Structure 1
Amino acid sequence: MEIKKINFLKSYSSVLLLLGGIIIGSIFGLVFKEKVAVIKPVGDIFLNLLFTAIIPLVFFTITSSIANLEKTEKLGRLFVIMIAVFLGTLLISAIVMIIAVYLFPIHENIIITKVPLENIQSGSVGDQIAQLLTTNDFYELLSRKSMLALIIFSFLIGFATLQSGEKGNAFKSFLDSGNEVMKQLLTMIMKLAPIGLGAYFAYQVSYYGPQLFGVYAKPLGVYYLACIFYFFVFFSLYALVAGGKRAFVVFWTNNITPSLTAIGTCSSIATIPANLDAAEKMGIPKHVRNLVIPLGAPLHKDGSSMSSILKITFLFAMFGKDFTSPSTILLALGITIIVSIVEGGIPNGGYIGEILAITVYGFPMEQALPVAMILGTLVDPIATLLNANGDVISSMMVSRFSEKTKW
């Protein structure tokens, strides 16, 4: 029992420290009011470090992930089915969250800032799409305002490296090394998060007052209820699709250990061994589980998809914008898919997705990112549960569609 307690505290130490920093900063803001403006530069330094690390981190993460895929015809059909299942469940989870925020709307009375939105260049729809997806010069990719263009470019570089075969091995090694270095850099920067966000929140509380407290309660309640509903109802439906009542029983009988591991470690990557063991007990073929689960851990995240929708709707309410237009919702669905891919395998990788959403919608980064980061921290445990368990149920469906597996 003592060992489990220690492991739990270790797994959640970063979350607890971050929440502690925010709480202490809030107290400082309430007590010292405008005097805490002197520590605002501490928060600015943290955010600036995070902003500058994002661009190379996104590039190396995506390119190295694509470059390390194995090109084999045997896995071609399996890979296509797996991607279809991943995309399908991601979209379903996002739609469930959209319905939840419509049934329990986050109203505009939570507005905590009057900062205007960043200017977005006007033009025809085609011009705006071209500006969103590409840049006309390489150096413009290095701006966080071109995040989506950078992601597309990174995918292309990754596939080009993959197609280069042995001649591209040296470049692939460079990408792998760069990916590891940038992951370590982000880990180092995030050690400053309790102090940086604490200083930021102290200033926010002193400036905007106690109305900040409680604004997160409703969105968090909506998110947790939606996730619990999705976990039990839709995972059960997925199991039925994978093989009827027998698959339903097999899934829920073997799902306890992976679930507890996901909640206990707060990491999809750390849950891979438990997921593989459960998949073996379920009777999922080895070549299926050994592809879907390890690849799903960084690329397939139902919980992150739902949290992405929550953060976007919260930011829209925060800045008094309307989230109901079809184009806004379609763009949000596209962002959730990209976020699921981009953040995989990166410590605190959800922040990259948050920056992408903030950039695409034109919210002021300095105001929107800390709020999105706080929400991301608070939803992390149950998001990890859906992320990790989604790989197990996806492997069942992939096995059913590709191998006609019967349980």
Structure 2
Amino acid sequence: MPFTPHQLPGETSMTLSVDTSRITAGRRTDTYLAMRSLQGGRTVYSTRVPLLDLDKILPVPDPSQPDPDNRKVDPRHAKSFGDYVSTHSAWVAPTLLARDNGGCNFHPLESSDGKVGYLDIPWSTGTVGALTTIDGQHRILGTRLRLRQLTEEITKCDRDLSRARSGDRATKLEAKLAELREALSRLEHEAIGLDIYVEPDSVLARQMFVDVADNAKGISTALRARFDGSKIANRTLDRVLDHALLKGRVDLEQDRMTRNNINLIGAKHVADLTKAVAVGVGGKMTSRRESELTDEAVVEGVHAFLDCITEAFGDLADVAEGRLSAVDLRSRSLLGSVGMLRVLAGTFHALRAKEVADDDITAFFATLSPHMAAPVSDAGIWRQSETRSDFEPEASAPVMRTQNLVHLVNVVTSWFPEVP
């Protein structure tokens, strides 16, 4: 619009052309390119939002004050997402879902048939008609926490660098500052999907949250064991499954082994056995420990354990040779329980740590073979004073609490070289 300033005496008159569309002062919205569609009878706007903008247009959840229309936020889970995005350059995350009760304005582009246009989204604070979150609270909070942490660390590192006197310290701080700035710069250029559902009715909006929660099928631990390659116990799964005892006998979908499941164990349980052989039943597979292990060494250790128990226990040899089904094994032997297999794996780890040879461990396990009948009896070794708390009466498996499994491993290991 033309603008004529106040003319002072002796000055030449002039007219300025000002593009007021570029003036954002007083505006409490941001504009995004979006697609408009229908889903379930509702208008849905689909767009991509820079990570830096999330806390501007979506409310940042407060773990201490849950949204009455949403679930309580777990701060640890939120932080883990922020750390994941920050440390994995190839991160992936599903689209966020939000509700618009009338605050958004859509301006369709010409020749787009009303399907593509500019979407004005109100800011999340101090604005009438701000969006509310249907799904994605942890992603929003986690991103906010990580961006704020990086900003604070950069400020502190920059301040420390200005005070540094020694060359070595200054060099280290410069390297750290460059690393932090690079991490922040990457996040500043990345975005996440956002679907905004137009729903003015607050009751129906609550139902949307329930419907999303009810229809979302969470990933089972078995599927995580198959596809999550960030953990060595999962990454080595396919090679571990090549062993004769497991091949074709592992449930790749279910986490729980029911009595009539035709498989011996599940993929999750194979990962549990792998961890037990590598670090013990109660051991933690930390990032540092993972970095010290190689995939080849882990696979070798698990196969050595499986060789050991297949040779030591006739029932498992029969399963490996196809002479005995997993269902029949569970009906008559403790070896059909995941818990007992984990105890044996933990014992194998403990004895190897004492530099006991694999052949000697096999011979020791063979002395346990006569005591593997299920259910356990009060006269047997598993219901005596040392292990009584680890087996319920007439049980076909040990108590699965970690503390019980660890205790049982310690007792069985103390019996080496033969069962008393």
TM-score by length of 1: 0.21
- Structure number with higher relative contact order (C-alpha < 8 Å, ≥ 6 residues apart): 1
- Bigger strand share: 2
- Bigger helix share: 1
